[in-house]
Structure 1
Amino acid sequence: MPRSLVVFESMYGNTEAVARAIADGVAAHLPVEVVEVGAAPTDPGEDLALLVVGGPTHAFGMSRPKTRRDAAARAGRPTVSPGPGVREWLEALRGRAGVTAAAFDTRVVRPRVPGSAARAIARRLRRHGLTTREGPHTFWVTGSEGPLLDGELERARAWGAALAEDVAVPAGGAP
């Protein structure tokens, strides 16, 4: 049976909460596993049908070691994802043709700044031969450490369900 994987990087817990909400939506259609990027497999297996990857937007894109250190220092506590981030994981990922992928990020709603980790993640997923759907999605936080804007977790659940439904029931076909 095809399965899905949601991989996330999170500093303060907002991106993790979004990843778990996405997985809740996916679970209505496909078996799903949610994995913090430091524990994520770089070879997700032959039975993978849907891969969803997300992280916070730092300095106009995906986090780097320095921006992760800065986030931990700003918080004054360890971050949810203390090790390598999505950027490093994607470098090692072994993509598979036929796998559908999607990218998401969390970003501060104000001030609105350019850049998106999700766009960069989607580009890298495509380079690995995965088919991206739905375009990159952003989920909004009110400040660097959050919280998420009202309604964002519900929006994440709905997006996860739509992604999984597309994979579970291909266009024009039966499941």
Structure 2
Amino acid sequence: MEGYVYLARRALPGSYRQELVLTDLVALTPGAGRRLLAFLGEHRALATEVVWRGGPAEPLLFLLDEQAYDSRILDRWMVRVLDARAALQARGYAEGVSAALHLDVEDALFPENGGRFVLEVAQGRAQVREGGEGDLKLDVRALAPLYTGYLTPDALRLAGALSASDDTLRAATALFSGPFPSMADIF
């Protein structure tokens, strides 16, 4: 099996038209993706919309002949870093990036989670030690979107959520770059 879809038809109010609501959609190959999209398109006589949850870079949308779709953010997920040092050390980093960040994290709710420390990354692995210069200043509330890649260091600085020199910002951008975090399922 290379792919499958589980769907339900839902009548649109005040119309004989329907929408297809996909609760599970899996395509392991491009051929499976194209076939599933064609299968959904075969419902066009009655269904005017197909609705499913996906990430911001949904690969199946790239397989469409025309990029005619609406994308909406329905639910944003939340993250709070409870142990900044352990989280930063356990996070994965790109193999080719080596950098050191001197962080100054403030956490009003859990003061032991804050403080100054140095994040050193080499060959995809991180070490965190106490101390440092505190060149990148941020609240734990800004650490979560930085950590996950939800917001870039530039975006956080623009929002006033962190302060850092341009060099420090470039190092943070290199360390925390990656795909936008997303989750196709809701729990």
| Greater percentage in helix | 1
Q: TM-score with structure 1 length normalisation? A: 0.24
| Greater percentage in strand | 2
Structure showing greater Rg: 2
Q: TM-score with structure 2 length normalisation? A: 0.23
Q: Which has the higher contact order (CA 8 A, sep 6+)?
A: 1
